[in-house]
């Protein structure tokens, strides 16, 4: 991992994430403070996400078939979210970011657990790079200072390549303004050393682990790969409310009949993954991930519901001393936290 040489100073609590042992959180940066301050003025949180994979190709035809996107519409130095589908039924297998880099190559940033599957595609070459995600209101100032570049004209989902080979994508890992930095391995220690030294002199530069990542992403209604969709759950891609993930020409042969929709839920009590019921006792959906939001001071969860059923007076079940009891929950019609991506000003 890119931060390995600094872990002794940051005090990590390590844990398993798929096939990887990763920092869940850092002792010097309490979860409550990281999740709240990432959304405050001037703060920036750095995540080491080098367990993810970077693949590159110039093979446009095979890539279009894989990611179900019309690449003619992906402009120079732009990226977009895309998905890998089971073409027989439209089930979502994985999400990824595909980027057009200088009209010279396409870059795929893929989830860690499916990294091996991408290696099986001969037209893709894995890049030897580390990945840092820098998120929050102060992210642009920190990245500009460390990389000595001007990012004022680099907007949400734009790419930029520097002379030292570092590639930048301004993307929303947590719903805030932020960046993914794709750093050649031979200079990754130099970059992380600069960030670490700056953090010692500023309380506004923090480090986050998987716990903080998941809370921030859930607050922004961004689904978690492996939790909110995985091979064991039949989730059609359009259930996420994002048909735009797949270009129209690739949708025509897909089964679009499932009624479930990606949903958000809130409660004053802890919620666990499981079935959701309405007051008549009908099963109307299920929770796939849940957490405590320190920003909202509420418990929040992501999951799925059937909008054709009665979604009033909802509850889920919990246990105490082997006895089941109801936990009242509400369907949230709005985002928990409104995204604050950096976009051009409109007049």
Q: What is the pLDDT of residues 255-314, one digit of tens each?
A: 666 788 999 999 999 999 999 999 999 999 999 999 999 999 999 999 999 999 999 999
1-252 and 259-332 have identical folds: no
Write the class of the CATH domain 259-332. Answer: mainly beta
Mean residue pLDDT of the chain comes to 92
Q: What is the DSSP string of 288-336?
A: EEEEEETTTTEEEEEEEE-TTS--SSEEEEEEETTEEEEEEEEEESS-S
**Structure confidence at residue 3 (pLDDT):** 59
Closest to 338 in 3D by CA, of 225, 221, 228: 221
Encode pLDDT of 194-233 as tens digits.
999 999 999 999 999 999 999 999 999 998 988 998 877 8
Domain map of the chain by residue range? Answer: 1-252, 259-332
Please state, for a pLDDT cut of 90, what percent of the chain lies above it: 73
pLDDT of residue 1 exceeding 70: no
Tokens representing 98? 């595909």
Which listed CATH number (2.160.10.10, 3.40.1190.20, 3.30.1360.70, 3.30.1360.120) goes with 1-252? 3.30.1360.120
Find the mean pLDDT for residues 153-163. Answer: 98
**Structure confidence at residue 246 (pLDDT):** 87
State the CB neighbour count (10 A cutoff) for residue 244: 12
Distance between CA atoms of residues 33 and 215, nearest Å? 12
Q: pTM score, two decimals?
A: 0.94
CB of 178 closer than 8 Å to CB of 139: yes
**Structure confidence at residue 4 (pLDDT):** 67
**Structure confidence at residue 11 (pLDDT):** 85
């Amino acid at each position: 991992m890119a931060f390995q040489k600094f872990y002794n100073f940051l005090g990590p609590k390590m844990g398993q994430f798929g096939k990887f042992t990763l920092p869940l959180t850092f002792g010097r940066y309490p979860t409550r403070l990281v999740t709240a301050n990432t959304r405050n003025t001037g703060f920036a949180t750095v995540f080491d996400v080098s367990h993810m994979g970077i693949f590159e190709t110039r093979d446009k035809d095979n890539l279009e078939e894989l990611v179900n996107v019309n690449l003619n519409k992906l402009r120079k130095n732009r990226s977009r979210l895309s998905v890998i589908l089971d073409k027989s039924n439209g089930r979502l297998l994985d999400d990824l970011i595909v980027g057009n880099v200088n009209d010279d190559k396409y870059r795929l940033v893929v989830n860690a657990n499916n990294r091996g599957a991408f290696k099986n595609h001969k037209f893709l070459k894995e890049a030897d790079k580390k990945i840092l995600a820098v998120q929050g209101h102060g992210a642009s100032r920190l990245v500009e200072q460390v990389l000595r570049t001007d990012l004022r004209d680099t907007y949400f989902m734009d790419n930029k390549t520097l002379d030292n080979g570092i590639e930048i994508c301004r993307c929303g890992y947590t719903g805030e303004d932020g960046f993914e930095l794709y750093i050649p391995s031979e200079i990754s220690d130099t970059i992380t050393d600069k960030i670490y030294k700056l953090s010692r002199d500023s309380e506004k530069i923090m480090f986050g682990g998987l716990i903080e990542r998941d809370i921030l992403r859930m607050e922004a209604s961004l689904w978690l790969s492996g939790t909110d969709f995985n091979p064991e759950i039949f989730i059609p891609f359009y259930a996420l409310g994002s048909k735009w993930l797949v270009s129209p020409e690739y949708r025509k042969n897909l089964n679009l009949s499932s009624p479930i929709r990606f949903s958000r839920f809130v409660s004053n009590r802890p919620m666990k993954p499981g079935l959701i019921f309405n007051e008549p006792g009908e099963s109307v959906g299920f929770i796939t991930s849940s957490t405590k939001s320190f920003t909202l001071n509420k418990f929040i969860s992501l999951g799925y519901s059937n909008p054709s059923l009665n979604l009033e007076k909802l509850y889920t079940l919990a246990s105490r001393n082997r006895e089941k009891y109801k936990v009242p929950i509400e369907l949230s019609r709005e985002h928990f936290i409104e995204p604050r991506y950096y976009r051009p000003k409109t007049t």
